[in-house]
Structure 1
Amino acid sequence: MKKILTSLAISFSALFVSGISYAAPHSDNNNSGFEYKKPNSNKGKNFQNQNNDEQTDKRRIREERGAKRLKEHKWQEGYVLPQHYRSNSYKVDPQQYNLPKPARNEQWYKINNDYLLVDSEKNNILRIYDH
């Protein structure tokens, strides 16, 4: 009798475990907390993703908008010159443009047809000339 009950218990537990395995999800939506990633079937192929094109377009539009905004920027004395204008490409020679000679720790910058005299230490705009 004991052998029969043991064999019945083992067979029911085997059926129960196999039933659980059938109840597991078989879709790509894995709810176990682990993310399933499909293998990259485009490996080795050289073409751009449509999503990448959209990002490039958005970046280009944002840069154009920023450039337009900076062209319309009105400089005022006392403002701090933004860092991206402090490069050598914006610095000018005052003799070449008939500008007053700068004092020590001052530098002339040309930005959007405006000549700005800037304090080199604090980066404050000291004078503005329109030519």
Structure 2
Amino acid sequence: EYELPPAYVGSICLPIYLFLIGWTDDFESVHWIVPTAAVGLFSVDRYLILNPIFCSLARAYPRYAASVLTGNGFMCLLFGAGSPLFIAGVFHNLEICWASTLLGCLRGLFVSFPFVLHWRGGQVCLRSKFARHDI
């Protein structure tokens, strides 16, 4: 799992950026560049998380890499297609500050995912009959 260190940084920083976006957006005393920079860092951070995970999946399942990456992309798109059904209501009812706090807290629950993937990823691959066993 040598490709995972960028995901460590990304998984820790992502909730921070969500809090930064939410708690600097509604206040006139905060300069407009602060939430704009937080959105930019959030976008870069998503790359830091997703790219190592894609690489890990492709390396663990080289024969089935196209199917694994397609399945991963499909699940991401399914979540992306379903989230507009509830996210507008969340931001409308909770307002930007508290909705971003809620999303940051939910994302905070998944901070450990890249670390667990590094720690237990080899054992998961050993249990799969489709994965490489020489990793």
**Do these two structures clear the TM 0.5 threshold for a shared fold by scoring above it?**
no
Name the structure with the higher helix share: 2
Which has the larger Rg? 1
Name the structure with the higher strand share: 1
TM-score calculated relative to the size of structure 1: 0.23
TM-score calculated relative to the size of structure 2: 0.23
